[in-house]
Structure 1
């Protein structure tokens, strides 16, 4: 009986499921961080892409440059909404909206937010990989290229004599 009461008393000290995860869901039991799915929606638009789009371009050309819009409205056919959102573990969530307004088939204007990043800035903002140690060098300078040894030249191989039976064939067309 004493063993049973000790066993049941121990059960009351176990943490409940709500105690295992915090309200934000950051850690379970203070140790394990659960995996969060990366959610990316819409079109990634950068300053470089938007700079290529000019008023007067036809819809097809705007679609070729920026991609298909995330939102098109049957009631507002002259408006395309390019919305981009990303939520990535270890990075701040990002939300951007670019609006293309048309006059018939031609682009009238493009509404671009002030915080639209350049391509390099966008990659830096979503990069959660933090390498330890020095960053490896990915390319050689011109002086380093010239210092490399030249590859050895392959000796010219003499033409090999045919092996096996040598045959001659008659011409395909009769001679006149």
Structure 2
């Protein structure tokens, strides 16, 4: 290769590591060239605990009852066997990162107390992670049909009754065992 060709490759070879290094230093709010936003993977860890769930847990409940309401704890320790930690984190592109901690303290097999910071309600939590651009007025879709929609549904088809089958299928072979009396 001639010296002039090598000299032309030198700036490109030096610029490549700089450009690749710049990609790793982008923050979530950074945009590449002011237009492109790099893809960020959604990271969800732990159990979502809402106000409604925390309100359902009462002192005196068994460990199984607490697990049924809140789910399995993210952290348990053999050194702190009377403590369960429910930690929740979510990082989603287009939404604020969230982190919450709920701690359940037990006295033997019974819940002594539940410590939690400020917890969102279910609807508030869903709204905080909803990144759709065109929300329908912020109102969730209705899951029930109106009376008019129910009337417009086609009538349910009635299944035709199948002919009754004989009690025992007819045999065309001799029985395997014979009665001996």
Answer yes or no: same fold by TM over 0.5.
Answer: yes
Counterpart in the other structure of 2:132? 129
Q: How does 1:11-160 map to 2 (within 5 A)?
A: 16-17=18-19, 23-24=26-27, 26-114=30-118, 116-131=119-134, 139-148=144-153, 150=155
Offset, 1:91:
0.3
Q: Quick one: distance in 1 between partners of 2:159 and 2:71?
A: 49
- Which one is further off, 58-67 or 31-40? 58-67
CA 137–71 in structure 1, closer or farther in 2 if over 3 Å, else same: closer
Which segments of 5 or more consecutive residues in structure 2 lack a partner in the other structure?
A: 165-171
Q: Quick one: distance in 1 between partners of 2:126 and 2:64?
A: 28
Q: CA contact under 8 A between 1:47 and 1:118: conserved in structure 2? A: yes
Counterpart in the other structure of 1:164? none
Q: CA contact under 8 A between 1:98 and 1:110: conserved in structure 2? A: yes
Q: Quick one: distance in 2 between partners of 1:63 and 1:109?
A: 14
Q: How many residues align?
A: 171
Q: CA contact under 8 A between 1:20 and 1:29: conserved in structure 2? A: no
Q: Quick one: distance in 1 between partners of 2:65 and 2:55?
A: 13
TM-score, normalised via structure 1 length: 0.70
Q: CA contact under 8 A between 1:79 and 1:100: conserved in structure 2? A: yes
Which segments of 5 or more consecutive residues in structure 1 lack a partner in the other structure?
A: 160-166
Offset, 1:27:
1.9
TM-score, normalised via structure 2 length: 0.68
Residue 76 of structure 1: SS of its match in structure 2? coil
